Amino acid sequence: RVAIARALINDPAIIMGDEPTGNLDSKNTQIVFDIFRELAQTHGQTIISVTHDDDFAANCDRIIELEDGALVSKVE
């Protein structure tokens, strides 16, 4: 949560996260996801996140899957 707060200081239009829920339990993963969802819906910020967490990805608006730098699938 501290990393998210630090990223928001300058009110960016786009927030990028590299494994933002890595090493978090399910409760804290949900908290992070809820924060991202609120930022996107109420503040109009775009969230781009790299994750290996299929549950996290399944709740996102758009999923782009890459393998070895190539597009494997895209779900909107």
DSSP-assigned states of every residue in 37-73: HHHHHHH--EEEEE---HHHHHTSS-EEEEETTEEEE
| Cα 73 to Cα 24: distance, rounded to the nearest angstrom | 26
Q: In degrees rounded to 5, what are phi and psi of residue 59?
A: -90, 0
- Per-residue tokens: 11: 């009110």
Could you read off the pLDDT of 9-61 as tens digits, one per residue? 888 999 999 999 999 999 999 999 999 999 899 989 999 999 999 989 998 99
Domain boundaries, the chain: 2-75
Reported pTM: 0.78
User: CATH number for the 2-75 domain, one of 3.40.50.2300, 3.40.50.720, 3.40.640.10, 3.40.50.300?
Assistant: 3.40.50.300
Question: At residue 50, what is the residue type?
Answer: V
